[in-house]
A and B are shown apart, each in its own frame.
Chain A
Amino acid sequence: MDTDKTKIQSLIDNHQGLKKNLIAILLDIQENFNYLSPESLRVVAKALDMPLIDIFGVATFYRAFSLTPRGKHMCLVCMGTACHVRGGPKILEEIERKLDVAPGENTKDGQFTLETVACLGCCAIGPVVVVDGEYHGHATIRKIGPILAKYQKPEAS
């Protein structure tokens, strides 16, 4: 726990401990710890000399932040307009069925977090599914099983 505090403090220091860098600090914590723990928000509030409620406000306002730990693999489904007209919703439904999870939630085994995104800006290859930063373009219902299996497999062994 203490090491976490030191780590968080160093992330804050990277941004000169300035109030204006709150979002950047939270993004760094999110990236390092996979979520924003209540503890980390308290550390930030203290270091920046800001009320906890303001930190909490920012943490809950922006989409990039999560207040609960995320799954091992992040599965991101693009819900941009271009992906939508090319069948994005059907892809999302299939993933929901396959993983038995709703967008914004983790699977029961903690392996996957399913999230949607408004647009990734690579509309040419839509519908797009991104798992752990790897883009899977021209997604079809039938491709979903094999795509997910790729990430599930190493865990089984």
Chain B
Amino acid sequence: MIEFQNVSKVYSNGTQALKNISIKVDDGEFVFIVGQSGAGKSTFLKLITCEERPTDGEIVVGEQRLSELKRAEVPYLRRMMGMVFQDFRLINKMTVFENVAFAMHVVGASSREIRRRVPYILSLVNLQDKAQCHPRELSGGEQQRVGLARALVNNPKLLIADEPTGNVDPALSFEIVDLLNQINKRGTTILMVTHEHSLVKHFQRRVVEINSGAVVSDSCNWEARDD
């Protein structure tokens, strides 16, 4: 699904964000990305979503070599991904239903498809009763589930979640990751950046640790270090 081949990224101000990274994520995998702030996790995500281009190396997403991808083709690459953000990024003046439907409008879905698909996705994240609520009326956990529904509604092959539990009650964090786990079981590849070691330990999945722009560990039996 994702392959980094000797990828380096140096920003125009001279900061070296990633140093010669090579990593492969297979279809259907669930990968936690961990590391301190400024380690290069955001750059890693930006390179996958084509928000930034690598200085060196090649990235392949799906079948697509990103170096061959023209700027106008970026939107179509993104349609195979779903993105979940730490700050939810919901539109407050829209209802839960509209927030999810919005992502379908963008890719040109018909009203009929939207009316059929959105309730289904909302039931998947257990929010079918809140469809007409506005984001402000929901708890952090519920808001993030709306964000998750929006990311899933266009049926992406890859789901990228950046600290999805960062603004959610610790008790509800497990619920969110559990949902991601279920989605993963249906075949969606999941990439989740997190700081929460308890979650990583609990779910026992592949863990890639990035530090100072390099992959320092990549294993399924990850133990948090004291630093």
Chains A and B are bound partners: no
| Interface set of A (CB-CB < 8 Å, partner B) | none
| Interface set of B (CB-CB < 8 Å, partner A) | none
